[in-house]
Amino acid sequence: MMEVKQVLHMNGGVGDTSYANNSVVQKTILTKGMPILEDAILDLYCTTFPKKLSIADLGCSSGPNTLFVISHIIDTIKMKCRELNHPLPEFQMFLNDLPGNDFNTVFSYLPGFYERLNEEKQVGLGQCFVAGVAGSFYGRLFPSESLHFIHSSNSLHWLSQVPQGLQNEMGISLNKGKIHIEKTSPPNVFRAYLAQFQRDFYLFLKSRSEEVIGGGRMVLTFSGRRSSDASSTECYFQWELITQTLNDMVSQGVMEQDKVDSFNIPYYAPSIQELEAIVEIEGSFSVDRIEIMEIDISTSGAKGIRAVTESMLVDQFGAAIMDDLFRTYEQKYVEYLSNNKSNHISLVLSMTRKG
Ligand SMILES: C[S@@+](CC[C@H](N)C(=O)[O-])C[C@H]1O[C@@H](n2cnc3c(N)ncnc32)[C@H](O)[C@@H]1O
């Protein structure tokens, strides 16, 4: 069973196919969700005016979005402090991602980041300390009751592993010829994906419930669906196009059918109802807001898909075919979007730790 923590990492560095250069869609999502993030952090700050704030960004990746989030949090509090004539608190900022993340590139941005903060010290800026935390957010990452605020964007749709139960007792794939949920996938496939998401999201909440103080806040943004129907495939066109590209390669004899049949993308986009049910069962957080955001995706999104999925595809299919695969994929992507209106759906979930 493919474990995501061993194979998933966004393309590192700052080259043509890097996440740093191909994360505009994620930046748009982040920016659209900012008002909800601002409300939550200000609410938290103005309730107790803590002298120190410990904040974690989970699934921070490596690129302009990484420091954009923590900068924006600091700026939001800074404006409030200016308005109230308060000294700024100290900030402990944790940037978390899987161990394969390009933390070196992230750290290389830090001197510039600190410099900008120092230039703006007029309001009695407290210190800001940034630390990297390598590990899976489907498990404990921080000591008990050590965090005030958690943010995560564009990350929690990644499952911890490829769902179990995608093969029958004979080891034959139930999702033959496909790499994700599609309209023609059998019901067992939908069920297996949902069950894996339920296990993972429960574990995520349980782990965070230990780490966040009572009254602490959490704002999570990730892919979702409008439809409550678990067999809805409204937001999976990008995977269908990879499937088509791989199947073309099988027909051309440059790819083995078996390789396609045995590969499944560990990604799930839940509905609001599915999320609410897990939050309720886990029981440690109350939901303050939950909203659907719709984002226009441009044809440049194809490069973004490469930056995000290449590490997993290389693991299964080898690096040699990646340029060919993504050349065809990009053509299909552009063609698809010129014939179909396909907006990306994200859900934003703002919660408070009970107690
Ligand atoms: C698309 S990037 C999002 C980066 C950034 N937050 C943004 O909005 O642009 C998703 C990130 O989630 C990370 N990720 C996926 N599963 C994870 C896990 N179990 N634990 C920690 N990070 C994870 C990936 O490695 C990747 O860097």
On whether the CB atoms of residues 226 and 271 are closer than 8 A, the answer is yes
- Cα four-point dihedral sign 260, 263, 269, 274: positive
Predicted local distance difference test score (pLDDT) of residue 21: 63
CA of 35 to the centre of ligand 1 (A): 21
CA of 227 to the centre of ligand 1 (A): 24
Share of the chain above pLDDT 90, in %: 43
CATH number at residue 54: 3.40.50.150
- CB atoms near residue 206 (< 10 Å): 15
Would you say the CB of residue 18 lies under 6 angstroms from ligand 1? no
Would you say the CB of residue 26 lies under 6 angstroms from ligand 1? yes
Average pLDDT over residues 97-125: 82
Would you say the CB of residue 153 lies under 6 angstroms from ligand 1? yes
Residue 52, CA distances (Å) to 84, 87, 235, 286, 323 in order:
17, 11, 40, 24, 48
Classify 14 as helix, strand or coil: coil
Q: Whose CA is nearest to atom 20 of ligand 1?
A: 136
CA of 311 to the centre of ligand 1 (A): 13
* Ligand 1 closest atom vs CA 23: 9
The answer to whether residue 217 scores a pLDDT higher than 80 is: yes
Top-confidence residue, 304 or 104? 104
Q: Whose CA is nearest to atom 1 of ligand 1?
A: 154
Report how many domains make up the chain: 1
Predicted local distance difference test score (pLDDT) of residue 24: 66
CA of 98 to the centre of ligand 1 (A): 7
CA of 108 to the centre of ligand 1 (A): 19
Would you say the CB of residue 312 lies under 6 angstroms from ligand 1? no
CA of 162 to the centre of ligand 1 (A): 16
pLDDT, averaged across the chain: 86
- Which of 96-100, 155-159, 245-249 is predicted with the least confidence, judged by mean pLDDT? 245-249
Predicted local distance difference test score (pLDDT) of residue 20: 65
- Structural domain span for residue 191: 4-353
pLDDT in tens, 270-301: 999 999 999 999 999 999 999 999 887 766 67
Predicted local distance difference test score (pLDDT) of residue 282: 97
